[in-house]
Amino acid sequence: MNRIELVEKIATENEITKAAAARILTTITTAIVASVKKGNPVQLIGFGTFKQVSRAARKGRNPSTGAAIKIAAAKLPKFVAGAAFKDAVDPKSAKRKAAK
């Protein structure tokens, strides 16, 4: 599913125009990006958590030359799926967890 299909789904499910649905989707994604950029996690219960993780500087190798290179530290976004989302994707896993 791409952005246009998601906007159409929001519009039809909520009986609103596609323009309004697009504005809603833009507002949600902008808010998530802004919060994660500040270092604050965004937790949507049952869906998952968006957060910022830090990757330390490290040494690596250039694959073509084999020369050692320095890889700079970086801040990256990370999404961790919630339990309900995982169970919806893989119901057999949920049954195995329940059986334990």
What's phi and psi for 64, nearest 5 deg? -85, -35
pTM of the model: 0.80
53's CB contacts (< 8 A; 6+ apart) are 75, 76, 77, 78
Question: Would you kindly state where each structural domain of the chain is located, as residue ranges?
Answer: 1-40, 46-100
Class of domain 46-100: few secondary structures
pLDDT of residue 24: 97
- The residue written with tokens 């952005």 in the block is 3
pLDDT of residue 95: 76
pLDDT of residue 36: 97
Distance CA 83, CA 42 (A): 16
pLDDT of residue 22: 97
- In angstroms, what CA-CA distances link 67 with 59, 60, 61, 70, 74? 10, 8, 6, 10, 21
Interval 33-55: pLDDT, tens: 999 999 999 999 999 999 999 99
Band (96; pLDDT cuts 50, 70, 90):
confident
